[in-house]
Amino acid sequence: MSVTTSFEDARQSAASSINLYRAVWRWHFYAGLFVLPFMISLAVTGALYLFRDEIDAIIHSDLKRIEAVQNAPKAAPSAIIDAALAAVPGTVLKYTTPTDSGASTEITIKASDGKRAVYVNAYSGKVLGSMPDRGTVMWTIRYLHSLKYFGTYTRYLIEIAAGWSILLVATGIYLWWPRNQTGGVVTVRGTPKKRVFWRDTHAVTGAFVGLFIVFLAVTGMPWSGVWGAKVNEWANGNNFGYPPGVRVDVPMSGTHLDDVAKTTWSLEQAQVPMSSAGHDHGQHSETPAPVATGADITNAPIGIDSAVSRFDALGLQAGYTVAMPTTPTGVYSGSVYPDDLAKQRVVHLDQYTGEPLIDMSYADYGPLGKGLEWGINVHMGQQFGLANQIILALACLGIVLLAVSGGVMWWKRRPKGSFGVPPLPHDKRVLRGLIALLAIGGIIFPLVGISLLIMLVLDLAIQRANRRNAH
């Protein structure tokens, strides 16, 4: 009696294990079917973007790099701007200081044909040339990475792919987990002609890069169109978009910092303050900036030379950008986001007095903001220098290998004339339980939840078609 019971228990346990394996395998297949093309694109463009400064410095060396002159005086910011405007007439929007003695100064100008970046040798005042703003090779790679070239709705696919990639890793780890096999855990069996070689390559690679996939997916989520925007609004919705505790008891405009200069995720919704003199005189933002006269000298803007000197005195790291005031109530907004998070800084100067209206750094972020910004910094290969770049580049290569080996393995396993969807578990309750767990992720990430429902409908359609073919 006991022997029979033990046998039945063992058989039920084995059947349950097989059912769960089939359910996980089926949804791992669906996740891979959707995610793998995106993973290849994201991995290739992401690996290139890790070395953006190095690559741009080589490709655009004629614009970005100059010969450093030891102890030589540099031209005043106003003279550099005048030279840039002589080459490209328009309205100056931003002045970006050189990152080092061998870098040029970048002036962003709103010209008749759109925004242009003009590069000037700060020693000689000579204009080196210009290109469309954000027209470098690495900005192109960045836009390809985020699918920004293809519209807002297409970019939502990145958010969905990030969520499904987490599902892909979770189900993949379950399928990889050792079950008394002699290979395919940390070693690869067979040769490329055999399917087991590609199965083991896929499993072993996934085991090593799975953690990186989850990390990159989670740290990439803040940039997403739906989830990232809502979390940003929730985290920075009060205090005019600044972290709690930052002094913002000054008049605020309706302009966001992200509209005037590239900024961090935490400050995308931060509002730009207004200069007190223009505000106190009741001037509207549409009117031109006041011109200093002898009788109105107290209301004269300090000018870019004084603004840059003020930012230097405040200790902003070299390479900071100054967004120019374009209205009477505008401010000089200095911002810098170097690899070292501790040196991130945003300072808004009153354009008439030169006094800081808001001065904040990474230390002023709340715990959520600090955590997310740290993750983003590592995601971009900045936080730990060259080691950060190399490790993530290797992870990206592993992701490409994972995707390619998965595709080859599926193609070799796929029955001729069939799509090769893994079989359903005999006990459908296992599948329902797995879907219930997936639904939790769908609630956290709404777009992923919607895509999950669509995939469920497609799965039901596939099941119905299979039953019809069987009959």
Report yes or no on 374 lying in a domain.
Answer: no
Residue 295 corresponds to which tokens in the numbers above?
Answer: 């009788």
Report yes or no on 240 lying in a domain.
Answer: no
Report yes or no on 26 lying in a domain.
Answer: yes
Indicate if 330 and 439 belong to the same structural domain: no
Report yes or no on 58 lying in a domain.
Answer: no
Question: What is the pLDDT at residue 289?
Answer: 46
Q: Which domain holds residue 413?
A: 2-50+145-224+388-470
Indicate if 82 and 167 belong to the same structural domain: no
Indicate if 128 and 273 belong to the same structural domain: no
Return d(Cα 79, Cα 88) in angstroms, integer. 14
Indicate if 170 and 31 belong to the same structural domain: yes
pTM of the predicted model over 0.75: yes
Report which of 327, 337, 397, 393 is spatially closest to residue 362, judged by C-alpha positions: 337
The domain boundary residue, chosen from 365, 396, 417 = 365
Indicate if 33 and 169 belong to the same structural domain: yes
Indicate if 343 and 250 belong to the same structural domain: yes
CB–CB of 261/321 below 8 Å? yes
Return d(Cα 272, Cα 25) in angstroms, integer. 51
Return d(Cα 38, Cα 32) in angstroms, integer. 10
pLDDT, tens digit, 9 for 90 and up, residues 172-223: 999 998 887 777 888 999 899 998 999 999 999 999 999 999 999 999 988 8
CB–CB of 139/52 below 8 Å? no
Question: What is the pLDDT at residue 285?
Answer: 39
CB–CB of 224/162 below 8 Å? yes
Phi-psi region of 184 (alpha: psi -120 to 50; beta: other; left: phi over 0): left
Non-local CB neighbours of 366 within 8 Å, separated by 6+ positions: 235, 243, 244, 245
Question: What is the pLDDT at residue 28?
Answer: 92
Report yes or no on 346 lying in a domain.
Answer: yes
Report yes or no on 34 lying in a domain.
Answer: yes
Report yes or no on 406 lying in a domain.
Answer: yes
Indicate if 261 and 313 belong to the same structural domain: yes
Q: Which residues of the chain have pLDDT under 50?
A: 1, 3, 7, 279, 281-297
HEC string of the chain equals CHHHHHHHHHHHHHHHHHHHHHHHHHHHHHHHHHHHHHHHHHHHHHHHHCCHHHHHHHHCHHHHECCCCCCCCCCCHHHHHHHHHHHCCCEEEEEECCCCCCECEEEEEEECCEEEEEEECCCCCCEEEEEECCCCHHHHHHHHHHCHHHCHHHHHHHHHHHHHHHHHHHHHHHHHCCCCCCCCCCCCCCCCCCHHHHHHHHHHHHHHHHHHHHHHHHHHHHHCCCHHHHHHHHHHCCHHHCCCCCCCCCCEEEEEHHHHCCCCHHHCCCEEECCHHHHHCCCCCCCCCCCCCHHHHHHCCCHHHHHHHHHHHHCCCCCCEEECCCCCCCEEEEEECCCCHHHCEEEEEECCCCCEEEEEEHHHCCHHHHHHHHHHHHHCCCCCHHHHHHHHHHHHHHHHHHHHHHHHHHHHHCCCCCCCCCCCCCCHHHHHHHHHHHHHHHHHCHHHHHHHHHHHHHHHHHHHHHHHHHC
Q: Looking at residue 90, which CATH number applies to its domain?
A: 3.10.450.40
CB–CB of 358/246 below 8 Å? yes
Give the chain's length.
471
The domain boundary residue, chosen from 112, 135, 158 = 135
Backbone angles phi, psi at 297, to 5 degrees: -65, -25
Indicate if 39 and 170 belong to the same structural domain: yes
Report yes or no on 383 lying in a domain.
Answer: no
Residue 206 corresponds to which tokens in the numbers above?
Answer: 């996934």
Return d(Cα 339, Cα 259) in angstroms, integer. 22
Indicate if 196 and 101 belong to the same structural domain: no
Question: What is the pLDDT at residue 284?
Answer: 40
Return d(Cα 385, Cα 456) in angstroms, integer. 43
Indicate if 289 and 435 belong to the same structural domain: no
Question: What is the pLDDT at residue 106?
Answer: 98
Indicate if 77 and 44 belong to the same structural domain: no
Return d(Cα 146, Cα 400) in angstroms, integer. 17
CB–CB of 45/144 below 8 Å? yes
The domain boundary residue, chosen from 108, 135, 162 = 135
Indicate if 46 and 160 belong to the same structural domain: yes
Query: How many separate domains does the chain show?
Result: 3
Q: Judging by beta carbons within 10 Å of its beta carbon (0-12, 13-18, 19+), is residue 470 exposed, middle or buried?
A: exposed
Return d(Cα 189, Cα 182) in angstroms, integer. 9
